[in-house]
Structure 1
């Protein structure tokens, strides 16, 4: 095959931004989690060690995936999606509950969140489906049929993790939007999406309670975390208190190393430090866009666009929650918040994008 033996050339701007984000994430995680690790496990490096282990596995998976021709991975699109559905069912039946949410599966000493795998599986699956029906996607029934295909996993994930279901549906809308030459149909898709959201909100009373807490956090005991996060953001000013000098992480912001970590970034590093982290995310998203626009085929473009949509939606949701712009959804900040499953599958997703970038001329 002509040109198949040429040395792969990856997007080095993407790799550099990712490396800086991973390094900054580990430094911030250690600063944020040291107190909690000491109190709970008598080890200030407990969370850091687990995150470094997961990051190492993720980097290895990323480069293995990047070295493969992404066209070969297309044959795994359907099996990966079916596996995501089965794992989501398993979570509902035998999943582990933590902080009131059933999101984890345990395999011996290891536990993971199948919802993180589902995001990658949906990107690969939808890229395959949309590419297959690209010439017919302007028809409403074809577009609706593709979106209906991901409703099983979105519904199963959404039963215990509404924010991830929103991300999955958002990825689907973005990929269909990119391939569709017509835009009017998306008005109906938006109406259906709002109806889908309304049903899921009404299914559990605690979700409606979150709406009330969002509107008036001072009136509810569960608004404590939101208020403390806002105090952390406000006290950081332009340059912050200094790395490691957060007050709010000392038990005031519960589980500060998880979805509220951006508030601690603002407190310790200030507006400039938070802006630097956001700049790294913007560089990643920009490179995803460049790779998608220059990809050699539609399948590759949709993989890069799916990763772009995933990153964009998740970062916006996390920061919107921390600043109380939207109700609390429990979504993490990619590559920065603590979570081994998240970082492994995010890096695997980066490997898919790098595989596409290696064939960009």
Structure 2
């Protein structure tokens, strides 16, 4: 009796290594777009101040290229190695924030920079990376205890300390808000009870409404400049001397661009009508030269980057990697939304830069450090290949 032979299908599962080249491409595209718009927005003021229209562009291009190469190399290192030093990075960042008050150099009325010979940097930018790396490490170490209220307060106070030092010792309210947002966002992800977050949103809304009501009726010449910023936000036309001039010129730039803009390099508001156009207000020049179409394309680029960060967070091999990618996601999303909201006068001015676009060597350096972390997490993702 002939034996029947049966074909047996065997599923072989092999683990294939992944690297998010899509995220890397989004970083390169945003950086290149930022350099183009930086040159366009700063050429006039650079020529007047430094005698070279390439002054800002050359510095930013050199720093961006160098940091991008370093980020790609650093992304080859396992993110767990960086997490081992997260406590030291967190401590150093907080110490530098404290020392900025005493050792920092005052620029534009605030001490936010520390100079080390020819080099300078903002400790507040380092603080963002420190929190993004330290809080996930702390949460993972707590494990199941993270469901308890004591653990909740430990994490909240850890992020709150950095946020407080940023505000109190560098007078950088915008960065303090972002650090607080990263802290709350990570807690929202891991803490099972959502009631404290809902209560917090309600309290913040009531506080904001109370501050606006107070400013409208009680502002005096000796009031805090932050309260004056709220008055400018409420009525920029009537308060041009308090800062409304920059807001109005930025709105003129946005409105005059139309749908397709005046053309690259053809902005009028960058001719010192919008002060320091290459910094916080660069989005207004983008709208003037490239119009609503250019603004939408830039928003799509940021959305694509955020999508890739979400993908990395969702597919990370462990909770640590997922929380690191989530922290980076929260940071980029908050900073983009706040910058666009400020330049469109949707919220009071806070002096916050547009990631990868605005001028600033410290900003691009630590943004690339965050991208190195995200790419490192993506490199540890494993997908199962099925073969018959």
Q: Does 1:118 align with 2:127?
A: yes
Cα RMSD (Å): 2.0
Q: Does 1:209 align with 2:251?
A: no
Question: Which residue of 47, 58, 66 corresponds with 2:56?
Answer: 47
SS in 1 for 2:357: coil
Q: Report the Cα distance in structure 2 between the residues aligned to 1:325 and 1:101, rounded to whole angstroms.
A: 24
Q: Report the Cα distance in structure 1 between the residues aligned to 2:80 and 2:252, rounded to whole angstroms.
A: 49
- For structure 2, list consecutive stretches of 5 or more residues without a partner in the other structure: 1-14, 216-222, 383-388
Structure 2 length as normaliser, TM-score? 0.87
SS in 1 for 2:120: strand
Q: Does 1:239 align with 2:250?
A: no
For 1:1-361, list aligned pairs within 5 A: 9-159=18-168, 160-190=171-201, 205-220=224-239, 221=241, 222-361=243-382
Paired residues of 1:140 and 1:185 also in contact (CA < 8 A)? no
SS in 1 for 2:152: helix
Greater Cα shift, 337-346 or 14-23: 14-23
Residues 176-212 of structure 1 show CA distances to partners (whole Å, capped at 9, x for unaligned) of 111122211223444676799899x99x811111111
For the pair shown, the structure with the greater C-alpha radius of gyration is: 2
Paired residues of 2:230 and 2:348 also in contact (CA < 8 A)? yes
- For structure 1, list consecutive stretches of 5 or more residues without a partner in the other structure: 1-5
Match of 1:3 in 2: none
Paired residues of 1:134 and 1:179 also in contact (CA < 8 A)? no
- How many residue pairs are counted as aligned between the two chains? 354
Structure 1 length as normaliser, TM-score? 0.94
Q: Report the Cα distance in structure 1 between the residues aligned to 2:167 and 2:23, rounded to whole angstroms.
A: 31
Residues 95-124 of structure 1 show CA distances to partners (whole Å, capped at 9, x for unaligned) of 111111211010001111111111001000
Q: 1:56 Cα shift?
A: 2.2
